[in-house]
Amino acid sequence: MYAIVGYWIPLTERSRFMSSFQGFSIGIGLTYPLCGFILSQFGWQYIFYTTGTLGVGWCLLWYLLAFNTPREHPRITKEELNYIELNVSKEGTNTKLKVPWPQIFKSLPAWAIAITTFGRIFLHYIFIVNGPTFMGNVLKFNFETNGFLSGMPFICSYFSSVLFCYIADKFILYKVLNLTNVRKLFTALSQIIPGILIYCIGYVDNIHLLLSIWFIAVIFITASYAGAMANIIDLAPNYGHSAAVLAFCQTIHMSASFISPLTAGFIVTQEVNYNI
């Protein structure tokens, strides 16, 4: 996706486009209750049959509907094509440049994105992987209730990401803050607020307050899509360069997706350890 953003998305709409990456939150939010229902009614095997079928369906739609550039799209209107080509970065349309891997490896902004998103992914996967276990083992919810309550924050987080990204674009458009400070602001929101709230969860006894804190923490994590994640395209709008910077950053920050659950599993050896 990052490889084609430079072709398709004007600078003043870039943050809003980044919210589309949060479609995976809707997937998570719907999968949890769906799997809870399937598990209780049909058995665990059908979870894999159902999600596998949906994955194949998505691949077919992507093959039919996605195109590298606006000019390659057979159904785009002339007005839309002119608008996009007029407003995208000229640098983003240059595909002949080689990827400067040595410069990427030495880039402090690239390392900053990689490290800050490592923290976000670490937090996010506590909720994604360990969240349902916490709700089942500690809060004692059944499969269906667990699936619903585990999934709802992620569905809400999609809409919060749209809101955060919309606000970020307006800040840029009306020059409320410069581009760098907009990215810093939303990156900070995605790290500091969820970090404080996840700390509080371990010390809250009221289940309604706990779930409210849980929801708010997951929602604020998505502010990163108007911050560090959008900053990748700001740094490297060229067709191939943004994908290369993303690959570098993801090599580092996606390691948190398995380090986070492993760390939680190492610490939590019994129910009373969850507050740690």
**Spans of the chain below 70 pLDDT:** 2-3, 15, 89-97, 237-240, 269-276
- Compute the half-sphere exposure of residue 244: CA atoms within 13 Å on the CB side of its CA: 18
Query: Which ranges of the chain would DSSP assign to H, the alpha helix?
Result: 2-8, 14-18, 23-41, 45-65, 78-87, 101-105, 108-125, 131-137, 143-173, 179-201, 207-221, 228-235, 239-253, 256-267
Residue 157 burial (CB count, 10 A)? 28
**Radius of gyration, CA atoms only, the chain:** 20
Q: What is the pLDDT of residue 2?
A: 67
Q: What is the pLDDT of residue 12?
A: 72
Q: Which of 84, 76, 79 is nearest to 17 (CA)?
A: 84
Model pTM score: 0.74
Give the CA distances from residue 262 to residues 155, 210, 256, 259, in Å, rounded to whole numbers and listed in that order. 25, 24, 9, 5
Q: How far apart are CA 128 and CA 226, in angstroms?
A: 21
The answer to whether the CB of 255 falls within 8 A of the CB of 118 is: yes
Q: What is the pLDDT of residue 217?
A: 93
Q: What is the DSSP letter of 269?
A: S
Beta-carbon contacts of 256 under 8 Å, excluding residues fewer than 6 positions away, are 118, 119, 121, 122, 125
